[in-house]
Amino acid sequence: MYRFADVIIDISLDKLDRPFSYRIPDRLLGRLEIGMRVLVPFGAGNTTKKAYIIALKENTEYDLSKVKDIQDIAKDAVTILEKQFLLAAFIRKNYGGTLNQALKVVLPAKTSVKKLLLREVVRIMERDEIISLKGEALRKHQNAKVKLLDALLEQESIPYEWITGKLGVSSQTILSLEKAGALKINSVTKYRDPVKFENAEDDRKNLSDEQRLIVDEIEKDFDNGNPGKYLIHGITGSGKTEVYMALIENVIKRGRQAIFLIPEIALTYQTLLRFYKRFGNRVSVMNSTLSPGEKYDQCMRARDGEIDIVIGPRSALFVPFKNLGMIVMDEEHETSYKSELTPKYHTFGVAKYLAKITDSALVLGSATPSLEAYYMAKNGEMRLFKLTKRLTGGELPEVFCVDMRQELNSGNKSIFSRKLKSLIEDRLEKNEQSMLFLNRRGYSGFISCRACGEVIKCPHCDVSLSEHYGGRMVCHYCGYETKKPAVCPKCGSKYIAGFKAGTEQIEQLLQKEFPGVKTLRMDADTTSTKDSYEKILSAFANEEAQILVGTQMIVKGHDFPKVTLVGVIAADMSLGSADYRASERTFQLITQAVGRAGRGQRPGNAVIQTYKPDHYAIEFAKNQDYEGFYEEEIAYREMLSYPPVAHMLAVLVMGADEAAVLKLSQSLSQRAKEYSKAENISESAMPVLGPTQAVIGRIKDLYRYVIYIKADNYDILVSVKDSLEEYLKLNPPGREYIQFDFDPINAF
Ligand code: ADP
Ligand code: ZN
Ligand code: ZN
């Protein structure tokens, strides 16, 4: 009989991140399980705290007179399953943070709020009446109405939030159709599926030879008891999703389940619809628009075997299937797969581990694979498949690269090149749509010359220097610092400055150049509310604007058949960022942006405006040559020991007292160096860089310093982290916080 339990207290405090022992009172004997949430008295004041049971024991080694009783089982608590525990322990070990934080990550729903009040929209008109209503709406160009009516033809009842959210149709439109007698709005208490499609017919395709090969090979491995890791490299529209669906179908036939991961922002109505058409109500969705109760329901449905597939962003990885067989990561290169909250886990790393402990296949797909994935494929750690043909017709656009230095030389000081301007004009005349993409990713005040394009770089690190107050330039990898020059060191021009144009400015400039033009803007400002992203996209799809201006958000997934021109305003902006991944990002963004044009019947054009037409990232992107880009980029990573060739651990120290932050950073850096000495690791095998002030040196009055530690072997970095944590336990910092970030994807 278990009479004692070890628990983890539910507080995010490093100091309490260890198990505490409690006695199980008689009335709870035999009722407790590992993973349950309980209430315990804690500390001198015996305040009631929530805790997770992580072990049950017959005896305890502690002084019995000091061991307290568990109070009760927490109400509405979610029990953590064994696999989730393993995942939490893995995350804790490999990415840092406390076990309690890791447990929170693996529990997609923290409480079991059931019985929600939900609204759903139900069709009450006959289909042919709906069709005639739709005809009328089409004539009046009421695009939102058309969309909703289409959806109602597809399925009889639709969650209200889905319509106003993902579908981007306003409440007014719903109300006007309610008035017209086409639908009614119901309140339902029981949660069913996030979406339910009826009368939806699967338009299954006969797989092409390239597709067939992938499906057959993976199936063979699976049946031989060797589910492996695979990377599918195929341009958008080459049939990857069709392959995923075939793969998942095979897995389900064998009584296993599948997790289909997508970057949050790419969860489109179209993708979902395709899955529902094939798998019906055995599919579910997990994303941030679901309430905690809905998330909980989806987890329970998965655990109880009611669903076979869950689609969602990285958190979908933690849906507790009984017999998982496959994990798919679509758009594998997307940075949103990395968590930016502690624990800063990499979805791929966790997925790999989950695949291992569940004997599942892991399938990655992308049009522009991350260097990490491609490197693994090249080294035989993952099998590479290619899809080379676009199956829907539509040709890749003709691409023009404009050298903005020459534009300036010819007297054009505008942000638009002459080529781009004339093409925009042409599209406006033809009533076709354009997209202007301002590449601002990684933007952190780097300094470049407008006359020759020179970007000022650190002499030691090959990353650009960032502009700081007081005319200083700083390297955020090694701390190198120098004064900002008055003229360009290369050409002597005085046009040397940080690049500052924003999307708003571009919109204004468009108005000036093309009076009366209808534009839409999509950036962090215009998409701060929950559904604004989908709303802007649907407005553009409904042709409420001729030009869509935006940041990297606009290059993702969506198909706009009427877009025949894509302009990349400052293609090399992201090249200047203080980040070793700058070229990779630039290549991915331009490749994707260019791929936006000419999806429909009409051929498209793309204009890449750059100060560095000769940069390999730009040249390879212009030619849509991934392989060429990879070879050049991996050589650079090899030369400088950057991931994926080597690994990097960033230790971020934050606190309100700058001197204390700096002192702690120095101690940690010292400790890391002592560790390598004790372990006989040479300085070149494990360089410790910094501390240096972070890119953003202070956020919300907290100063930030960072230490970078590099090593060829990831496990060395995990041990260094363990050693630093050990140090912190023995020398608890006053009021400073420490964050670990393995293979960071953003510079600090
Ligand atoms: P990706 O996921 O690579 O963008 P999709 O799977 O979405 O590609 O396929 C792109 C388009 O091609 C879709 O409209 C899909 O229905 C169609 N398609 C996919 N596979 C085939 C096939 N074997 N035969 C015909 N059309 C196909
Ligand atoms: Zn210059
Ligand atoms: Zn440097």
**How far does the centroid of ligand 2 lie from the alpha carbon of residue 244, in Å?**
49
**How far does the centroid of ligand 2 lie from the alpha carbon of residue 489, in Å?**
7
For atom 23 of ligand 1, the residue with the nearest CA is 207
Average pLDDT over residues 464-480: 74
Higher pLDDT, 647 or 59: 647
Q: Considering the chain, what percentage of its residues have pLDDT values greater than 90?
A: 41
DSSP state of 455: B
CB contact at 8 A, 329 and 360: no
With 50 as the cut, is the pLDDT of residue 116 above it? no
Return the ∠ at Cα 317 (arms to 160 and 34), rounded to 5°. Answer: 105
Q: Look at residue 114 in the predicted model and tell me its pLDDT.
A: 46
Average pLDDT of the chain, as a whole number: 85
**How far does the centroid of ligand 2 lie from the alpha carbon of residue 452, in Å?**
4
Average pLDDT over residues 376-393: 89
**How far does the centroid of ligand 3 lie from the alpha carbon of residue 494, in Å?**
25
**Phi first, then psi: what are they for 740, rounded to 5°?**
-105, 140
Q: Look at residue 500 in the predicted model and tell me its pLDDT.
A: 54
Q: How confident is the model at residue 546 (pLDDT cuts 50, 70, 90)?
A: very high
Q: Look at residue 71 in the predicted model and tell me its pLDDT.
A: 93
Give the closest ligand to the alpha carbon of residue 386: 1
**How far does the centroid of ligand 3 lie from the alpha carbon of residue 458, in Å?**
5
Could you identify the atom of ligand 1 that is nearest to the CA of residue 207?
A: 23
Q: Look at residue 36 in the predicted model and tell me its pLDDT.
A: 83
Q: Give the pTM.
A: 0.78
Span 317-352, pLDDT tens digits? 999 998 999 999 999 999 889 888 889 999 999 999
Average pLDDT over residues 702-723: 92
Average pLDDT over residues 374-380: 96
Q: Look at residue 108 in the predicted model and tell me its pLDDT.
A: 64
Lowest mean pLDDT among 400-404, 478-482, 744-748: 744-748
With 90 as the cut, is the pLDDT of residue 221 above it? yes
Give the closest ligand to the alpha carbon of residue 559: 1
Average pLDDT over residues 101-119: 66
Counting ligand 1 atoms within 8 A of each CB, the residue from 203, 241, 331 with the most, and so the one to mutate, is 241
For atom 5 of ligand 1, the residue with the nearest CA is 239
Q: How many CA atoms lie within 13 A of 51 on its CB side?
A: 29
Strands ordered across the beta sheet of 257-261: 283-285, 309-312, 257-261, 324-329, 361-366, 229-234, 383-387
Give the closest ligand to the alpha carbon of residue 599: 1
With 60 as the cut, is the pLDDT of residue 152 above it? yes
- Residues having CB closer than 6 A to ligand 1 are 205-208, 211, 234, 236-242, 391-392
Delineate the domains of the chain, giving CATH numbers in brackets.
4-106 (3.40.1440), 116-190 (no CATH), 209-385 (3.40.50.300), 398-442+503-638 (3.40.50.300), 445-499 (no CATH), 647-742 (3.30.70.600)
**How far does the centroid of ligand 3 lie from the alpha carbon of residue 581, in Å?**
15
Name, of 202-206, 444-448, 673-677, the range with top average pLDDT.
673-677
Q: Considering the chain, what percentage of its residues have pLDDT values greater than 70?
A: 87
Could you identify the atom of ligand 1 that is nearest to the CA of residue 242?
A: 6
Could you identify the atom of ligand 1 that is nearest to the CA of residue 211?
A: 23
Q: Look at residue 443 in the predicted model and tell me its pLDDT.
A: 44
Lowest mean pLDDT among 229-233, 248-252, 388-392, 668-672: 388-392
Higher pLDDT, 557 or 535: 535
With 90 as the cut, is the pLDDT of residue 551 above it? no
Cα–Cα distance, 441 to 454 (Å, whole number): 19
Could you identify the atom of ligand 1 that is nearest to the CA of residue 208?
A: 23
Q: How confident is the model at residue 686 (pLDDT cuts 50, 70, 90)?
A: very high
For atom 8 of ligand 1, the residue with the nearest CA is 239
Give the closest ligand to the alpha carbon of residue 495: 2
Could you identify the atom of ligand 1 that is nearest to the CA of residue 234?
A: 3
Q: How confident is the model at residue 4 (pLDDT cuts 50, 70, 90)?
A: very high
**How far does the centroid of ligand 2 lie from the alpha carbon of residue 450, in Å?**
7
**How far does the centroid of ligand 2 lie from the alpha carbon of residue 497, in Å?**
10
Span 242-252, pLDDT tens digits? 999 999 999 99
For atom 15 of ligand 1, the residue with the nearest CA is 239
Counting Cβ atoms within 10 Å, is residue 3 exposed (0-12), middle (13-18) or buried (19+)? middle
Which 3-state string (H, E, C) describes 98-111?
Answer: CHHHHHHHHCCCCE
Q: Look at residue 285 in the predicted model and tell me its pLDDT.
A: 83
**How far does the centroid of ligand 1 lie from the alpha carbon of residue 243, in Å?**
9
Q: Look at residue 442 in the predicted model and tell me its pLDDT.
A: 41
Counting ligand 1 atoms within 8 A of each CB, the residue from 203, 214, 242 with the most, and so the one to mutate, is 242
Average pLDDT over residues 727-734: 88
Cα–Cα distance, 392 to 598 (Å, whole number): 12
**How far does the centroid of ligand 1 lie from the alpha carbon of residue 194, in Å?**
25
Span 139-151, pLDDT tens digits? 888 888 998 998 8
Give the closest ligand to the alpha carbon of residue 490: 2
For atom 11 of ligand 1, the residue with the nearest CA is 237
Q: How confident is the model at residue 576 (pLDDT cuts 50, 70, 90)?
A: low
**How far does the centroid of ligand 1 lie from the alpha carbon of residue 277, in Å?**
14
Q: Which of 356, 360, 376 is nearest to 87 (CA)?
A: 356
Q: Look at residue 748 in the predicted model and tell me its pLDDT.
A: 66
Q: Which of 539, 527, 538 is nearest to 166 (CA)?
A: 538
Span 34-50, pLDDT tens digits? 888 899 999 888 889 88
Average pLDDT over residues 588-594: 87
**How far does the centroid of ligand 2 lie from the alpha carbon of residue 464, in Å?**
15
DSSP state of 24: P
Which two structure tokens, joined as six digits, stand for 122?
């139900």
Cα–Cα distance, 368 to 588 (Å, whole number): 6
Could you identify the atom of ligand 1 that is nearest to the CA of residue 392?
A: 12
Higher pLDDT, 635 or 15: 635
Counting ligand 1 atoms within 8 A of each CB, the residue from 391, 396, 559 with the most, and so the one to mutate, is 391
Give the closest ligand to the alpha carbon of residue 408: 2
Q: How many CA atoms lie within 13 A of 8 on its CB side?
A: 24
Which amino acid appears at position 474 of this protein? Answer: V
Average pLDDT over residues 680-702: 84
Name, of 110-119, 239-248, 582-591, 737-746, the range with top average pLDDT.
239-248
Q: Look at residue 741 in the predicted model and tell me its pLDDT.
A: 93
**How far does the centroid of ligand 3 lie from the alpha carbon of residue 641, in Å?**
14
Q: Look at residue 209 in the predicted model and tell me its pLDDT.
A: 94
Could you identify the atom of ligand 1 that is nearest to the CA of residue 330?
A: 2
Cα–Cα distance, 106 to 91 (Å, whole number): 9
Give the closest ligand to the alpha carbon of residue 463: 3
With 60 as the cut, is the pLDDT of residue 217 above it? yes
